[in-house]
Amino acid sequence: MKRILSFILIALLIVSCKQEEKNVIISGAVFGTSFSVQYYSESNLNFETQFDSLFYVINKSMSTYQVNSDISKLNRNEAVLVDRHFIKVLDASHVIYKQTKGAFDPTIGVLVNAWDFGPEGEIANLDSLKIDSLMQFVGLDKVNQINSTILKPKGTFIDFNAIAKGYGVDVIATFLEHRNIENYLIEIGGEIRAKGINFEKQSAWKIGVENPNFEGEQSILKAITLHNESMATSGIYRKFKVDENGNRYSHIINTKTGYPSKTNLLSISVIAKNCMTADAYATAFKAMGIENVKTFLKEHPELKAFLIFENDKKELETLSINGFPEN
């Protein structure tokens, strides 16, 4: 009997000493956009300084907007040894490049710049001959790696902007998990990763799928739950050009032609296990078009997708593929 009472007392002591999970929210600016990290910690740990350090390292490695980053030096054909972050993103890019048959291609950066969607500024008097001359430097298969050295043609411009935000989300997630944080929601510029539950609401994390709006106003089309997954969205409703006939062209450059994509696909959201993968495929699918995306996803059930597009009557339609959540 005494042993039972002792056990109960010890159990009660452990429960009483266990601190209540506290909600921590850290937000700010990074990668030319905003970020927000929400997590629950018994000791109310604040990792803002550590997040800033991680963002600094990623920018130093892969930001085309920083003149002294490794990728900027590489694009200027300067000698540089890249870090593990660069190598990890390059390896993932090669895999997705092959799986999408080149629809995802970070070397399209030279055309992104030419069309004034990138950090270098537009090329004056851009015509078909100039585009053809630039296309000879496009193709991730031209980029190779030996240890920490990257080999590429001198005219090739590497741009990881279509995958780096998602990778940044994953880096923060890995950091939190190494510190035994099991409930979190991370968002960088619309790219999201969630794990566990929202403790305050005692339910799965709810996130919004945005309604495409060319006027810049933000509204939510629908809210869905994420269960230990990531979601990334690519669309033309924020960065696009309009020609003299009123046709909209997206900032996603067609890797086969070198021209901005003219498409009725306004937005595509992809759910995958990690955010880097979701980010890259969202960009690739945007360039592939609806029918090619549907065919591709039949062979890749691990990816879920939600498409918003205009039909022939200029009306909005949606399409959920591979079990993309309805709510």
Q: In this structure, which amino acid lies at residue 177? A: E
pLDDT score, position 2: 41
242 pLDDT above the threshold of 80: no
Name, in order, each residue with C-beta under 8 angstroms of 30's C-beta and a sequence gap of 6 or more.
Answer: 55, 59, 168, 188
Domains and their CATH numbers in the chain: 22-321 (3.10.520.10)
Give the mean model confidence (pLDDT) for residues 279-299.
Answer: 93
pLDDT score, position 239: 54
275 pLDDT above the threshold of 70: yes
Q: Which of 66-75, 246-255, 277-286, 313-322 is the least confident region?
A: 246-255
216 pLDDT above the threshold of 80: no
Q: In this structure, which amino acid lies at residue 58? A: I
CA distance 99 to 111: 22
The sign one gets for the Cα dihedral 166, 219, 27, 112 is: positive
Give the mean model confidence (pLDDT) for residues 201-230.
Answer: 84
pLDDT tens string 160-186: 999 999 999 999 999 999 999 999 999
222/297: higher pLDDT: 297
Q: Which of 244-248, 272-276, 288-292, 310-314 is the least confident region?
A: 244-248
pLDDT score, position 192: 97
Q: In this structure, which amino acid lies at residue 219? A: S
Q: How far is CA 15 from the centre of its chain?
A: 40
